Amino acid sequence: MSEKFYITTPIYYVNDAPHIGHAYTTIAADVLARYFRAEGFDVHFLTGTDEHGIKIVKAAADKGVSPQELADEVVVHFQDLWAKLNISNDDFIRTSQARHEGRVQEIIRRLIERDEIYLGKYEGWYDEGQEEFVTESTARDNEYKSVISDKPLVRYSEPSWFFRLSKWIPKLIAHIETDSTFVQPTSRRNEVLSKLAQGVEDLSISRQSEKLGGWGVPMPNDPDHSVYVWIDALSNYITALGMPGIGDEFDAKGDKYWPADVHLIGKDILWFHAVYWPCLLMALDIPLPKTIFAHGWWTCEGKKMSKSLGNFISCEVLSELCGEYSRDAFRYFVLREVTFGADGDFSREAFGRRYNTELANDLGNLLSRTVNMIGRYFDGAVPKPQQRTLEGVEAEFLSEPIKHLQDESAKMMSRCRFSGYIGAALELASATNRYIDATEPFKLAKDPSQRERLGTILYACAEAVRIVLSYLEPFMPEKSAEGLAHLGVSGVSDGTLSERGRFGLIEPGTKTAKSVPLFPRKLLDQ
């Protein structure tokens, strides 16, 4: 039976349409899903929308519609964008779905049974944009405004159900300390640990339903209260799998895919995922996810994205960029430009430059050069090499980068080192370009006595490009398939990615197609 891989994105709020930030996390998750599928794993990839909470209630009221109407309208923008970006999710959960709501109530029932919640009173500050409780000292330090949106915090004073969060903190700290892969990257893990060391109080997990206009999941033991939107939202990672008797037996999907292998999130919501979620799971006696990876934040053209500044990368702008450069180039760029985990800046100029240098020049040119030479010198049939292994000059240029890809790609993917992984594939493309410059097949073609040698060189080039395109497939599924079709080797796609990444698989005599630029060069503004 194949090994499983369960990957999730955050479920996004439906108060507004998606933008580049949402696209970023979802593309990264898609790349992992495609990579692990290509390596033969049984992958389950979940994304969705977070539709409850005061933020949605207020956004709907501002638009004069009901929260459900707003959710129904906005969810389509997310689903359309994911289709546009070729996202291969296996499921899409909406927190207003009955399958989710019923299971959230089941989770609360279970917490009640285990004496994990009690009735108290919440008195304090709340950031309605973040749906987050704010301590007195943090509120004071930021002049009672949201650290994120700068909007005034709201004072809450109401009865509320509390989860005994503090009781689980020592166990959580021990887990984070012993399992270095649980919270990644390391800098974020250290941040969580140092904040935990300052002490954590029990967590208010319900809101008065009337304040939410009845929108949300009712507490099963107290219909005047709705479940706090973060408890509701975090639960999606298990409710989507189904869990009739949570903690005892999941249904078939739950049994198969839980625990999640990676919860991919932005750094803004790390605390919820690294503290509230594992403590809830421990209280429910459900195994913890293996990794929570918090990536960095995008600014655009050097500034925080804002509609009024005109630097907002909305779904319309994303569509336009994908139209101009191809969606694969966009997927590639966002994961190549910034080390995953660090903050980054999106600029059209940087996109254009990287597109031209890496995709049009290094990769696209290599493919056209190879296909054109095979066309011109061997009538469009991959020549027979002197040997189908790497020897001599071929080995000198190509062995090391191929070996590096084979040895390191799995490690890099499992640590979300997307840019490094792409870099390793590009290094093979560059090495192949250097190899062509050094061996000068265009000169050898003039000398009939060098025909065998020429065949060996072009065979090696075809194999190297095939390997590069195969490894880049999770990032650029369409361009990779197109490029492989130029080489005439779409058929060499049996087996796992690592198997396909071996040198010497193309059958001599394979007919190549006519080469058209895979990434046409762009004229960029100076």
Distance CA 122, CA 204 (A): 7
CA dihedral (434, 438, 441, 446) in degrees, to 10, reads 150
234 in contact with ligand ME8 (CB under 6 A): yes
Q: Which of 7, 265, 280, 283 binds ligand ME8 (CB under 6 A)?
A: 265
> Binding segment for ligand ME8 among 17-25, 71-79, 468-476, 490-498 (CB under 6 A)?
17-25
233 in contact with ligand ME8 (CB under 6 A): yes
State the DSSP code for 163. Answer: E
Q: Which of 124, 266, 352, 375 binds ligand ME8 (CB under 6 A)?
A: 266
Closer residue to ligand ME8, CB minimum distance, 71 or 506: 71
Q: Which of 5, 12, 78, 333 binds ligand ME8 (CB under 6 A)?
A: 12
How many residues touch ligand ME8 (CB under 6 A)? 19
232 in contact with ligand ME8 (CB under 6 A): no
Distance CA 361, CA 295 (A): 29
129 in contact with ligand ME8 (CB under 6 A): no
Subset of 38-77 contacting ligand ME8 (CB under 6 A) = 50
13 in contact with ligand ME8 (CB under 6 A): yes
> Around Cβ 79, how many Cβ atoms within 10 Å?
18
> Binding segment for ligand ME8 among 8-16, 174-182, 317-325, 384-392 (CB under 6 A)?
8-16
Angle at alpha carbon of residue 134, lines to 130 and 137, rounded to 5° = 145
Q: Which of 42, 90, 202, 268 binds ligand ME8 (CB under 6 A)?
A: 268
Q: How far is the CB of 295 from ligand ME8 (least distance, A)?
A: 7
Element (H, E) at 300: strand 298-300
Q: How far is the CB of 88 from ligand ME8 (least distance, A)?
A: 18
Q: Which of 5, 6, 7, 21 binds ligand ME8 (CB under 6 A)?
A: 21
Distance CA 483, CA 368 (A): 9
- Work out the burial of residue 159: count CB atoms within 10 Å of its CB; fewer than 13 is exposed, 13-18 middle, 19 or more buried: middle
Name residues whose C-beta falls within 8 Å of residue 118's C-beta, 6 or more positions apart in sequence: 161, 162, 164
CB-based burial, 28-45: b 16+ in 10 Å, e otherwise: bbbbbbbbbbbbebebbb
24 in contact with ligand ME8 (CB under 6 A): yes
Q: How far is the CB of 229 from ligand ME8 (least distance, A)?
A: 8
Distance CA 121, CA 158 (A): 6
Closer residue to ligand ME8, CB minimum distance, 23 or 117: 23
Give the three-class secondary structure for 333.
helix
Q: Are 117 and 73 contacting, i.e. CB atoms less than 8 angstroms apart?
A: no
Closer residue to ligand ME8, CB minimum distance, 25 or 433: 25
Q: Which of 144, 297, 312, 442 binds ligand ME8 (CB under 6 A)?
A: 297
292 in contact with ligand ME8 (CB under 6 A): no
Distance CA 145, CA 69 (A): 30
Closer residue to ligand ME8, CB minimum distance, 344 or 383: 344
Q: How far is the CB of 234 from ligand ME8 (least distance, A)?
A: 5
Q: How far is the CB of 280 from ligand ME8 (least distance, A)?
A: 12
Backbone angles phi and psi of 284, in degrees to 5: -90, -5
Can you give the binding site for ligand ME8, defined by CB under 6 A?
Answer: 10-13, 21-22, 24-25, 50, 233-234, 236, 265-266, 268-269, 297-298, 305
